[in-house]
Amino acid sequence: TQLLEQSPQFLSIQEGENLTVYCNSSSVFSSLQWYRQEPGEGPVLLVTVVTGGEVKKLKRLTFQFGDARKDSSLHITAAQPGDTGLYLCAGDSGGGADGLTFGKGTHLIIQP
Amino acid sequence: EADIYQTPRYLVIGTGKKITLECSQTMGHDKMYWYQQDPGMELHLIHYSYGVNSTEKGDLSSESTVSRIRTEHFPLTLESARPSHTSQYLCASSELGGGLYEQFFGPGTRLTVL
């Protein structure tokens, strides 16, 4: 069974600070996706990383895929209250048609 | 924005009742999925479908069943609900884009069985 470990599990910081959350596995994934989920809603896809060492930027969010395609990080610059939510990483072991393996997520709270 | 819908959004029922959770998507996606998520926990895949008349069981064993008679519709049924079925159920669909299947989720159904 492939497992994705996310850390930290909970993070509460002040508006304007920077933060990094991590997604680690002992397994290799063909791609890795990051989602944000708000209470009572379904996850919303933020980005997909495919190539080892790949870096993608989405405004203040920077996503990196590890060289070995076993881990990923999400860095947020100058966090805002609107960034509050549950951040989930999900790995695709091949093709994606058979569903994704999800981590437990990082609960992020940005205080004004 | 993804066009995938789930009804009902919230359901509270008694033990032993039969229920069907509805999921529909208007994007013409062939692949559809059902995940189960307990509060503060990860999503677990319980069912998926490659297309019409295709259904497969996911990683997490579930007493629910699914059907796929039409491309846009992927309902999940519990014949006899129990308190252990209390959870959030999320439906998703995906398309092949750039060699990847990127999944789009519905808003979920929060089920409480008393």
Amino acid letter, B7: T
- Bridge partners, residue B24, by sequence: B5, B73
User: Where does the pLDDT of residue A1 fall: very low under 50, low under 70, confident under 90, or very high at 90 and above?
Assistant: low
Q: How far is B108 from chain A (nearest CA, A)?
A: 6
Handedness of CA B38, B41, B46, B50 (dihedral sign): positive
A19 pLDDT above the threshold of 60: yes
CB contact under 8 A, B90 and A31: no
Burial of A25 (0-12, 13-18, 19+ CB in 10 A): buried
What pLDDT was estimated at residue B87? 95
pLDDT in tens, B41-80: 888 889 999 899 999 998 787 889 999 999 999 999 999 9
Q: Based on C-alpha coordinates, what's the Rg of chain B?
A: 14
Mean pLDDT across A31-35: 92
Residues in A closer than 8 angstroms to B100, CB to CB, are 31, 48, 50, 92, 96
Strand-pairing partners, residue A71, are: A24
- Partner residue facing A50 (CB), from B9, B40, B100: B100
Split at pLDDT 50, 70, 90, the class of B40 is confident
Q: What is the pLDDT of residue A3?
A: 83
pLDDT confidence bin for B100, thresholds 50/70/90: low
Q: Which structure tokens are listed for A19?
A: 């933060």
- Are A46 and A58 a contacting pair, CB within 8 Å? yes
CB-closest option in A35, A41, A104 to B41: A104
Average pLDDT across chain B, whole number: 91
**Is A43 close to B107, i.e. CB distance below 8 A?**
no
3-class DSSP string for chain A: CCCCEEECCEEEEECCCCEEEEEECCCCCCEEEEEEECCCCCCEEEEEECCCCCEEEECCEEEEECCCCCEEEEEECCCCHHHCEEEEEEEECCCCCCCCEECCCEEEEEEC
Q: List the one residue out of B21, B18, B13, B15 whose CA is nearest residue B89.
A: B21
pLDDT at B84 over 60: yes
At residue B59, the pLDDT reads 79
pLDDT at B1: 55
**Residue numbers of A between 91 and 110 with CB closer than 8 Å to B:** 92, 95-105, 107
User: Which of B49, B100, B110, B111 would you mutate first to test chain A, the one with the most A CBs within 10 A?
Assistant: B100
Residues B28-32 have a mean pLDDT of 90
Average pLDDT rounded to a whole number, residues A44-49: 92
> Could you tell me which residue, A50 or A2, shows the higher pLDDT?
A50
Using 50, 70 and 90 to split pLDDT, how confident is the model at A93? confident
Q: A40: which chain B residues are within 8 Å (Cβ-Cβ)? A: 9, 107-108, 110
Please check whether residue B90 touches A, CB under 8 A: yes
pLDDT grade for A2, boundaries at 50, 70 and 90 = low
Taking an 8 Å cut-off on Cβ atoms, the answer to whether A99 and B50 are in contact is no
Q: Residue B8, preceding bond cis, omega within 30 degrees? A: yes
| Shortest Cα–Cα distance, B51 to chain A (Å) | 11
